[in-house]
């Protein structure tokens, strides 16, 4: 039976590309992608905050059907939080997807499960779609703790969220040891853990939510491995870091259906 879930390929640029570089990259990407691609796949780009307004204007003025994403936000609506950005500010810029709990935010900036959960709920309240990131370290993996870590992060990240909302959101499984290292989980391993994510959602929110939630794999996704990863039944998309900075490489990932 074909999957009811539309694939979502997202480019997380992290702290790369100023707004001039961002405009160029999205323009090049739009020259490479075709209507067939947009019919088959949802595509999002997640530039740094300083680029978002420029990319919003470009996408709208040229009618480019790429969704705008953000990498992070705060969970409060407003207040004395120097340096932070509120969900409603992103929604005003027509941001569709917001990443919550990326491992770099968890590890470098001390975000814990409770904060990530507050962000997920704040993003939903602002009528955007969270991309909740989960994943294990190499030590946790070697100790056989992958399933517990990932299912614990899914449960904690989605605590208090309604099952209809869970059905519409995105979970990204990103093994930390595969991020930016050139090491990718094998398609079988990635599938196994994505199936654990889906089973956790089923257990907590029911079979309908689990069947509808989209699960991305992230961690050194490249044009050469995207096809094998996307062929897995519980992998509905990719959260791409390094390879999304280059429009040609990212377009080849979006076009995984054609083979590379
Ligand atoms: P890489 O594709 O560079 O490994 O990054 C993955 C990632 O963290 C995307 O959010």
CATH number of the domain to which 236 belongs: 3.20.20.70
Domain span at residue 216?
A: 8-259
Q: Using most ligand atoms within 8 A of CB, pick from 240, 243, 250 the residue to mutate for ligand 1.
A: 240
What are the strands, taking DSSP E only, across the chain?
A: 8-12, 42-46, 67-70, 97-100, 129-134, 170-173, 214-218, 237-240
Q: Is residue 140 part of a domain?
A: yes
Q: Is residue 230 part of a domain?
A: yes
How much is the pLDDT for 80? 98
List CB contacts of 258: < 8 A, sequence separation 6 or more.
Answer: none
Residue 1 clears pLDDT 60, i.e. is over it? no
Residue 4 clears pLDDT 80, i.e. is over it? no
How much is the pLDDT for 176? 94
How much is the pLDDT for 20? 98
Is 19 tagged catalytic? Answer: no
What number is the average pLDDT over the span 209-217? 98
What number is the average pLDDT over the span 57-73? 98
Number of domains within the chain: 1
What number is the average pLDDT over the span 194-209? 98
How many angstroms does the Cα of residue 164 sit away from the middle of ligand 1? 28
Neighbours of 92 (CB within 10 A): 12
How many angstroms does the Cα of residue 70 sit away from the middle of ligand 1? 15
pLDDT tens for 244-256 read 999 999 999 999 9
What number is the average pLDDT over the span 107-134? 98
Q: Is residue 70 part of a domain?
A: yes
Catalytic residue among 74, 102, 104, 111: 102
How much is the pLDDT for 183? 85
How many angstroms does the Cα of residue 168 sit away from the middle of ligand 1? 23
How much is the pLDDT for 34? 97
Q: Using most ligand atoms within 8 A of CB, pick from 218, 225, 244, 250 the residue to mutate for ligand 1.
A: 218
Neighbours of 78 (CB within 10 A): 10
Q: Specify the residue with its C-alpha closest to ligand 1, atom 5.
A: 241
Q: Specify the residue with its C-alpha closest to ligand 1, atom 1.
A: 241
Q: Is residue 185 part of a domain?
A: yes
Rounded to whole angstroms, the Cα distance separating 12 from 14 reads: 6
Q: Is residue 1 part of a domain?
A: no
Q: Is residue 2 part of a domain?
A: no
Sorting pLDDT into bands at 50, 70 and 90, what band is 3? low
In the chain, % of residues over pLDDT 70: 98
How many angstroms does the Cα of residue 137 sit away from the middle of ligand 1? 14
Is 74 tagged catalytic? Answer: no
Q: Is residue 72 part of a domain?
A: yes
Atom of ligand 1 nearest to the CA of 179: 4
How much is the pLDDT for 234? 98
């Amino acid at each position: 039976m074909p999957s009811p879930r539309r694939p979502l390929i997202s480019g997380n640029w992290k702290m790369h590309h100023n707004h001039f570089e961002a405009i160029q990259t999205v323009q090049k990407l739009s020259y490479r992608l075709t209507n067939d691609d947009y019919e088959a796949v949802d595509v999002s780009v997640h530039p740094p905050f300083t680029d978002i307004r420029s990319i919003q204007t470009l996408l709208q003025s040229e009618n480019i059907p790429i969704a705008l994403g953000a990498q992070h936000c705060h969970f409060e609506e407003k207040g004395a939080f120097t340096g932070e950005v509120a969900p409603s500010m992103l929604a005003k810029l027509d941001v569709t997807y917001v990443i919550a709990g990326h491992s770099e935010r968890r590890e470098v900036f001390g975000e814990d499960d409770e904060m990530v959960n507050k962000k997920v709920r704040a993003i939903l309240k602002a009528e955007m779609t969270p991309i909740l990131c989960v994943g294990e370290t190499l030590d946790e993996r070697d100790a056989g703790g992958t399933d517990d870590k990932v299912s614990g992060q899914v449960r904690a990240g989605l605590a208090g969220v309604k099952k209809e909302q869970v059905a519409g959101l995105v979970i990204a499984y990103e093994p930390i040891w595969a991020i930016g290292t050139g090491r990718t989980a094998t398609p079988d391993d990635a599938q196994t853990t994505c199936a654990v994510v889906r089973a956790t959602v089923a257990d907590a929110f029911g079979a309908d939510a689990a069947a509808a939630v989209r699960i991305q794999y992230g961690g050194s996704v490249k044009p050469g491995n995207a096809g094998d990863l996307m062929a897995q039944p519980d992998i509905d998309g990719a959260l791409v870091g390094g390879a999304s900075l280059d429009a040609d490489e990212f377009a080849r990932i979006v076009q995984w259906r054609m083979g590379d």
